[in-house]
C-alpha cells in the first residue's frame, strides 16, 4: 500500500505514519503497512498518487452515492460559501437554505414524521435521538422510562451513547462501553442464527418474543425505545427475516416503547426505496439520516420525529426555558446547500429508478459466486450486499474470526483495483455508488472474483 514519494513530492506515507492517528485501524500494524493515500476521484473511481485507479465498491463508507466528481455539488457549496458561509441555529436563528432543506426532507420522509433537527454525523444524530427520547419521557412524566434496546451486531456510531448502541466488539472493547441504560437483543441473521429447519417467519417470531421478554424483564416502565437499522450495515448487511419488523412493532406498541429507525445507510435510495422504512413497513417514531443525504460531499445528518414528540418537548422547553441541545454545525448552510442539490440530482436523474433497474444485475452478479467453495451466503437488497465466507457450507462452519480471511480478500481486491470492506465474521461488503453503470458493477464483480480465487488458495 505504501507509495514511494516521487521527485519533489511530499512523502505522504512517511508523514502519515509520523503524525496521523487513523480511525478503525490497527494502529500498530499501520506503522508497518502505511496508509493508502487517494489523491483524486472521478465518477465511481478514486486514484492514488501513482495514478492507479480503484473502483469504489463501497462508496467510501456507504455514503458517496453520486460518486467522486459531481461538479454540481461543488458549485452548490461554492455558491453558499460566497453567500452565507456559516450560520448556526441557536436561539431561534438559522440560514434560509437550512429551512428549505428541512421542508424538503419532511416532505420526503415517512408521513408520521413532521419535525426535523440537524447534526453533522450519524453518531451525533443517534446521540440526539437518545436525548430526545429521554427529554420526551421526562416531559410526559415518565422519568424512569429511559432504557434503549439495541441489537447484537448493530452499528449506530461511536460516540459514547451511540457507541453504546453499537454492538460490535471493536467498538466497545477497551472503551468501557456500553454505558448504563443500554440493552441489546438478538441479531436477525437467519442464515447464521436460525435453528435447524426454522423458517424466516418462525425466526422472526422468536426474536419478537425475545424482545417482549426483555422488555418485561427490564420492566416496561423503564424501557423508552428500540433502535434498529432496517438492514444492518457494518454488522454484516443483515436483511431482516420476513415479518420481522411487523412483529417487532407489535411488541413495541404493547409496551409503549418508541421505535428509532437508523437510516444512516439505508436512506436515499440505497436499497431501492427512498427509505428502508418503506421497504419493510416500518412506522418510526424517530428516524436518523446521514451519509447519502449530501452524497458525503459535506458532513450532515438529521433527526426526524413525530409531531406528538415535538409537542411534548416543545412544551417542556417552555417550562424549562430552553431546549438545551444542538451543535455549532447543526444545520450548517454549506452542508444544507449541498444536501438540497443532492436531492435535486436524485430526483432529476431518477436515481431510485436507476437503482431499481440495475439491482437485478448487481445482485445476480454476486449471487453467481454462491457456488464458490468459500461462499456460504450472498445477501442484500438494492445496491447493498454482503458475501459471507465460510469454512464449510454443510455442515455450516464459519471461519475462526481471527483467521482474517475477509481481510486478506479485501487486500487482494485492492491489488486488483477494487475497494471493498471487511465486515464482522468474515463477510465482505458492497455498497457501490448509486450512479454505477452495469459495466461498473460487472467490473466490481469480476475483480472481487479474482480476489476470492486468490483467497481460496490460502484458505485451506
Ligand atoms: N448509523 C449507521 C447505520 C451507520 O452505518 C453509521 C456509520 O457508518 C452511523 C450510524 C454513524 O455515522 P457517523 O460515522 O457519521 O457518525
ipTM: 0.99
**Atom 1 of ligand 1 has which residue's CA nearest to it?**
156
Distance CA 11, CA 6 (A): 8
What atom of ligand 1 comes closest to residue 159's alpha carbon? 16
From first CA to last CA, the distance across the chain in angstroms is 26
**Residue 81 — φ and ψ, nearest 5°?**
-65, -30
Return averaged pLDDT per consecutive 10 residues of the chain, 460 residues in all: 60 96 96 96 97 98 98 98 98 98 98 97 98 98 98 98 96 95 98 96 98 98 98 98 98 98 98 98 98 98 98 98 97 99 98 98 98 97 97 90 87 98 92 98 98 92
Å from CA of 82 to ligand 1 middle = 30
Q: Give the DSSP H/E element, type plus range, for residue 302.
A: strand 301-306
**What's residue 47's pLDDT?**
98
Distance CA 154, CA 276 (A): 16
**Atom 12 of ligand 1 has which residue's CA nearest to it?**
122
Of 122, 165, 123, residue with least CA distance to 147:
165
User: Which of the listed residues 60, 155, 299, 386 should we mutate to test ligand 1's pocket, taking the one with most ligand atoms within 8 A of CB?
Assistant: 155
Q: Give the DSSP H/E element, type plus range, for residue 380.
A: strand 375-381
**What's residue 5's pLDDT?**
55
**What's residue 7's pLDDT?**
57
Å from CA of 295 to ligand 1 middle = 14
* Rounded (10°) CA dihedral 238, 239, 243, 246: 80
**What's residue 425's pLDDT?**
82
Distance CA 199, CA 331 (A): 45
Å from CA of 156 to ligand 1 middle = 5
User: Which of the listed residues 123, 240, 284, 335 should we mutate to test ligand 1's pocket, taking the one with most ligand atoms within 8 A of CB?
Assistant: 123
**Atom 5 of ligand 1 has which residue's CA nearest to it?**
265
> Within 6 Å (CB) of ligand 1, which residues are found?
61, 121-123, 126, 155-157, 229, 233-234, 262, 264-265, 290
**What's residue 147's pLDDT?**
98
Amino acid at each position: 500500500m505504501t507509495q514511494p514519494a516521487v521527485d519533489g513530492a511530499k512523502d505522504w506515507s512517511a508523514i502519515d505514519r509520523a503524525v496521523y492517528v487513523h480511525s478503525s485501524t490497527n494502529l500498530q500494524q499501520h506503522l508497518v503497512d502505511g496508509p493508502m493515500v487517494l489523491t483524486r476521484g472521478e465518477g465511481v473511481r478514486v486514484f492514488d498518487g501513482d495514478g492507479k485507479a480503484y473502483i469504489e465498491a463501497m462508496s467510501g463508507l456507504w455514503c458517496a452515492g453520486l460518486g467522486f466528481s459531481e461538479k454540481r455539488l461543488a458549485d452548490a457549496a461554492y455558491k453558499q460559501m460566497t453567500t452565507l458561509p456559516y450560520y448556526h441555529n441557536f436561539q431561534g436563528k438559522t440560514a434560509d437554505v437550512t429551512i428549505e432543506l428541512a421542508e424538503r426532507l419532511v416532505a420526503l420522509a415517512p408521513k408520521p414524521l413532521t419535525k426535523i433537527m440537524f447534526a453533522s454525523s450519524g453518531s451525533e444524530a443517534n446521540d440526539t435521538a437518545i436525548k430526545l427520547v429521554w427529554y420526551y419521557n421526562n416531559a410526559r412524566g415518565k422519568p424512569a422510562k429511559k432504557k434503549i434496546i439495541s441489537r447484537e451486531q448493530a452499528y449506530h456510531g461511536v460516540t459514547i451513547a451511540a457507541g453504546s448502541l453499537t454492538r460490535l466488539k471493536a467498538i466497545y472493547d477497551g472503551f468501557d462501553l456500553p454505558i448504563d441504560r443500554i440493552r441489546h437483543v438478538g441479531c436477525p441473521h437467519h442464515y447464521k442464527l436460525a435453528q435447524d429447519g426454522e423458517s424466516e417467519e418462525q425466526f422472526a417470531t422468536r426474536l419478537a418474543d425475545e424482545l417482549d421478554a426483555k422488555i418485561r424483564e427490564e420492566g416496561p416502565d423503564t424501557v423508552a425505545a428500540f433502535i434498529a437499522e432496517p438492514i444492518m450495515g457494518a454488522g454484516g448487511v443483515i436483511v431482516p427475516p420476513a415479518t420481522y419488523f411487523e412483529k417487532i412493532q407489535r411488541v413495541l406498541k404493547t409496551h409503549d416503547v418508541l421505535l428509532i429507525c437508523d437510516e444512516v445507510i439505508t436512506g436515499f435510495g440505497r436499497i431501492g426505496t427512498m427509505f428502508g422504512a418503506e421497504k419493510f413497513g416500518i412506522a418510526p417514531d424517530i428516524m436518523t439520516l446521514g451519509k447519502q443525504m449530501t452524497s458525503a460531499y459535506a458532513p450532515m445528518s438529521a433527526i426526524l420525529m413525530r409531531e406528538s414528540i415535538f409537542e411534548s418537548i416543545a412544551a417542556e422547553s417552555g417550562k424549562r426555558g430552553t431546549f438545551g441541545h444542538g451543535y455549532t454545525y447543526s444545520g450548517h448552510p454549506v452542508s444544507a446547500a449541498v444536501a438540497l442539490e443532492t436531492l435535486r440530482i436524485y430526483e432529476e436523474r431518477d436515481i431510485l429508478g436507476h437503482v431499481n433497474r440495475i439491482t437485478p444485475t448487481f445482485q445476480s452478479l454476486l449471487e453467481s459466486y454462491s457456488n464458490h467453495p468459500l461462499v456460504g451466503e450472498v445477501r442484500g437488497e438494492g445496491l447493498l450486499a454482503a458475501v459471507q465466507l465460510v469454512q464449510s457450507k454443510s455442515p455450516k462452519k464459519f471461519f475462526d474470526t481471527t483467521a482474517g480471511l475477509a481481510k486478506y480478500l479485501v487486500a487482494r481486491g485492492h491489488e486488483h483495483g477494487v475497494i471493498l470492506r471487511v465486515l464482522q465474521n468474515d463477510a465482505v461488503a458492497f455498497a457501490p455508488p448509486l450512479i454505477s453503470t452495469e459495466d461498473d458493477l460487472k467490473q466490481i464483480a469480476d475483480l472481487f472474483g479474482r480476489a476470492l480465487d486468490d483467497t481460496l488458495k490460502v484458505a485451506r
